[in-house]
Chain A
Amino acid sequence: MSGAILILGATSAIARGAAAAWAQRGYRLYLAGRDVESLRRDAADLTIRYGVAVHFGAFDAAAHDSHAAFLQRVTEEMGELEGVLLAFGYLGSQARAAADFRETLIIINRNFVDAVSILNLCADQLEQRGRGFIAGIASVAGDRGRQSNYTYGAAKGAFALYLQGLRNRLFPAGVRVLTIKPGFVDTAMTFGMPGLFLVAAPQDVGARIVTAVERGRDVIYVPWFWRYIMLIITCIPERLFKRLKL
């Protein structure tokens, strides 16, 4: 287990949970994100707790031109990558997005365009190597458009579709692609939100991601019962659904 795993958006609570689970298994990690001081702290914590080498560095998801150089730097520092977890995203506000197109653009870019830009490069590298994995955090919000967050849902839905295509493309090369669809997870994004139920701890979700990668799963809902919640929600006929306040 000398492989290195790149975590994009590493300071998010779910990414932290997954990083801990991988570190516990002895993987070396590269933590990437905007807040370098926080990454430094996360790296120190993982190294002290689990005794693995953890590197970190600045990554600007919106600066697409910088992505190739970034990935090259990571590879030089860590050796060939075992896999990539893409954990960054932006919930934003549907109300603001409806009133201001700049918010809409940020939501679409962060959750879809920026993710595609860096994962395209990762996919090429892993495909050449002929093994490894890509795991991307989409959302249950991407399974059906709802008035409360359809811009975020559309971007995450597009990202899920992209991952699906990538899975299809990379299968012959032996590279696995995992789509993660979290329901309610107890993160900064959901803290204080009204109407949440059965909220999962980010450490548990992180550990689930790591076992799902090991088992070569394609799509997981976390917590698992969200698969069935979303099954019901996607089965509601549109004629009825459009009347609902969801």
Chain B
Amino acid sequence: MNTLPKDISGWGRYPVQRCELVRPERHAELWSEAPSLLARGQGRSYGDAALNAGGRVVLTERVNRFLAFDRDKGIVRAEAGVTLAELLALTVPRGWFPLVTPGTRHVSLGGCVAADVHGKNHHHDGAFGTSVRELELITAGGRRLRCSAQENVEAFRATVGGMGLSGIIGEVELQLRPIESAYIRARHQGAANLEQLFALLQDSDHDARYSVAWVDLMSRGAALGRGVVMNGDHAAADELSGGRRLTPLRLVPHKAHNIPFAMPGWLLNRFSIRAFNSRYFRREGGRDAPFLVDYDTFFYPLDTLDNWNRLYGRRGFVQYQCVVPTATALAALQQLLQRLATSGHPAFLGVLKRMGAQGTGYLSFPMAGYTLAMDLPMQGATTLALLDSFDEVVLQHGGRVYLAKDARLAPASLRAMYPQLAEWQRVRRELDPQGVFSSSLSRRLRMEEEA
């Protein structure tokens, strides 16, 4: 197979590293002999999780065939390169929706498994791994291993959330959720500060299936952590009106706009972001009455802007996503926002979510508590120092950082954050004694090494 040495990055465009790319066209070609291997789906993890500097990166984009679809039971089996966009195009018109979806459709099923992604419904339905009925894992040497919650359970738990380091995910079988329409009944509520935002997210009267809060990261003082809680549920067919009611599962596709090249780095500064956030807060915070919105707009607002990561300019950006346990979540997140405010560092998009119980995988990110995600333009040492100071707060409160978003965590912090690391290491050594599967992230965090 042809190889292509190329400088690539994750979605955050930081860091950029030279990897040896191969792109199999067929499932049988997923495995290839190389001293260092890593599968990469759509490259939507942010930092260096899908990079393998100096090693081989197996692009799975062409290995994207549907293998089976049971329209009565809502079970789909596909090669791991299938994207959620492809899955939705197939299953929504037939009345099925993924049990769990992250905030973009442009992710592969293999990537969803490897990062054990979560969605706006984690507090109800858990992370992606809970919807996986079975996986095919291609382990070191090219052996194909079926694993699930019942069969080869340890391999399954090392793969779900295992960041692609247990092998190449070849096939994924998923359970889907029945839906009556392609629409969401949504409701927005503004909150003047973080405390109010927490109160709304906890409020069981408004306990929608999907729940997420946008946070104004540039607000300060009494308004620190103000935001908008966005709730939603799948709408029943009879809630629709007019033409929509006749074809409740049909959507007119949205036109995507493209950011053609990296924007000047100064575009997103604290003044432009502040102005945007104030306007957004006023507009979205006031939509208290329930309204109907198509699933595309509700789940994937940023997908309407292709290559939106170019907004951050050449230096790229880092996303900091952490989860902190319920008991002290409010205090922890207040501290984080306070540190961000005092630093004066610009930060765009803040997202706050309530999380349910710990997930399937040894390294699954979610835990019962609250998760905050922040996009920060990369400004070198100042950004990295700020994020290190965030780690202190998160560690203090027994929380953790999301590896799929990470580009800079320290090895010691990983060990404190992921208590099941040793189990993961044990299973990984059994599956891959030579340590063929490796990534820039795994080497930076010394994930294979004990303590």
Contacts and interface: CB of A to CB of B under 8 A. Distances in A.
Are A and B associated in one complex? yes
B67 interface: yes
B105 interface: no
A193 interface: yes
Given A13-B25, A35-B26, A48-B90, A42 B2 contact: no
Interface in A165-213: 187-188, 191-193
Given A191-B2, A192-B2, A192-B4, A44 B66 contact: yes
B72 to A, nearest CB: 14
Given A45-B65, A192-B2, 9 more contacts: A38-B26, A41-B27, A44-B65, A48-B68, A48-B69, A188-B2, A191-B4, A192-B4, A192-B21
A239 interface: no
Interface of A: 11, 13, 35, 37-38, 41-42, 44-45, 48-49, 187-188, 191-193
Contacts of B67: 41, 44-45, 48
Q: How large is the interface on B (under 10, 10 to 19, 20 to 34, 35 or more residues)?
A: 10 to 19
B28 A37 contact: yes
B23 interface: yes
B79 interface: yes
Contact of B79 (A13, A35, A37, A41): A41
A11 B25 contact: yes
A191 B26 contact: no
Interface of B: 1-4, 21-23, 25-28, 62, 65-69, 79, 90
Contacts of B90: 48-49
B68 A44 contact: yes
Contact of A35 (B2, B4, B28, B62): B28
Contacts of B27: 37-38, 41
Contacts of B22: 191
A188 B25 contact: yes
Contacts of B66: 44-45, 48-49
Contact of A188 (B1, B68, B69): B1
16 contacts: A35-B26, A37-B28, A38-B27, A41-B26, A41-B65, A44-B66, A44-B67, A44-B68, A48-B68, A188-B23, A188-B25, A191-B22, A191-B23, A192-B2, A192-B3, A193-B2
B228 to A, nearest CB: 38
Contacts of A42: 65
B2 A11 contact: no
Nearest to B23: A191
A44 B77 CA distance: 11
A45 B69 CA distance: 10
A55 B388 CA distance: 57
A41 B65 CA distance: 7
